[in-house]
Amino acid sequence: MSEPRGPVDSSKVPRFAGPATFARLPRLDEVERCDVAVVGVPFDSGVSYRPGARFGPSAVREASRLLRPYHPGLAVSPFAALQVADAGDIVCNPFDIGQAVEMIEDAATSLMAGGTRLVTIGGDHTVALPLLRSVAKRHGPVALLHFDAHLDTWDTYFGAEYTHGTPFRRAVEEGVLDTEALSHVGTRGPLYSSRDLDEDRRLGFGIVTSADVMRRGLDETIGALRQRIGDRPLYVSIDIDVLDPAHAPGTGTPEAGGLTSRELLEILRGLAGANLVGADVVEVSPPYDHAEITSVAAAHVAYDLVSLFAIKEGS
């Protein structure tokens, strides 16, 4: 098997030049095989407040130019351990949410057909549902680790079943999630009523709030999450608004009191060796992203997710 083709050499091509792919990696059509594909889904027709996440994939790619090939926190060179490539963007209908969901599912399923794992950059959180459907076709119902300020298990908005606030209720109803291993991390802020929490528990979710992370500390938090996940196939879905607005102002529905970017990255690194089968980073909205703070955070999150795949490959 040929050695993986890695990023453009920054000692020969300045970081502000060269290809605009994620981490300046090769495009999918430039490699013979692909272990992990980074793919964008520029879709935000499911948002309930501020739009703009359709521009998230391109902004995160631009912010990823500064990523380097060795990850000291996980002691791995992900682009040398795996063939990672940028698969471009999934095209989906911005005027028909139902059709867009089907188009995302079909495209993701096609990308995964040869065993490729996906790290997806959104887009709003609606895109998680078709991605979970595609992963479940290969692995069956999967464990879910959901980082978010919000539950995203509401039933409908204005009668619409497919929105960025409903993907995980639909996923439970469709049987693509393992209801013995579902966790929210970083939730906070006001709800419509206490019934939101009752409904969420009924669906099978456990909750680790941002305040819980602060009080318990990272090691206890990671230990509890790892115990709940076990060795099940795991999907990680990260709404960037899990971060406090100080760390991620560029998002559609910000909430005060969130995680720091350091806390989020350390929790992800605590998943090293888990049976990760897919992941997404969503809700980066560049129009509200002062000095690219949010895009930079999301680029590092995506890099850590790719690195987790590399750790698993070598374990």
The answer on whether 125 is annotated among ligand-binding residues is yes
264 Cβ partners below 8 Å, 6+ apart?
Answer: 147, 186, 238, 242, 243, 297, 301
209 three-state secondary structure: strand
The answer on whether 241 is annotated among ligand-binding residues is yes
Using alpha carbons, list the distances in angstroms from residue 105 to 22, 35, 99, 223.
22, 19, 10, 32
The answer on whether 150 is annotated among ligand-binding residues is yes
DSSP state letters, 205-257: EEEEEHHHHHHH-HHHHHHHHHHHHTTS-EEEEEEGGGB-TTT--SSSS--SS
* Amino acid symbol at 232: R
Say how far apart CA 9 and CA 66 lie, in whole Å. Answer: 12
In eight-state DSSP terms, residue 177 is E
> How many of the other CB atoms lie within 10 Å of CB of 236?
25
Radius of gyration of the chain (CA): 18
Say how far apart CA 123 and CA 163 lie, in whole Å. Answer: 12
Say how far apart CA 197 and CA 72 lie, in whole Å. Answer: 39
Residue holding tokens 């709404």?
239
Q: Which residues are annotated as a binding site?
A: 125, 148, 150, 152, 239, 241
Q: Which residues are annotated as a binding site for Mn(2+)?
A: 125, 148, 150, 152, 239, 241
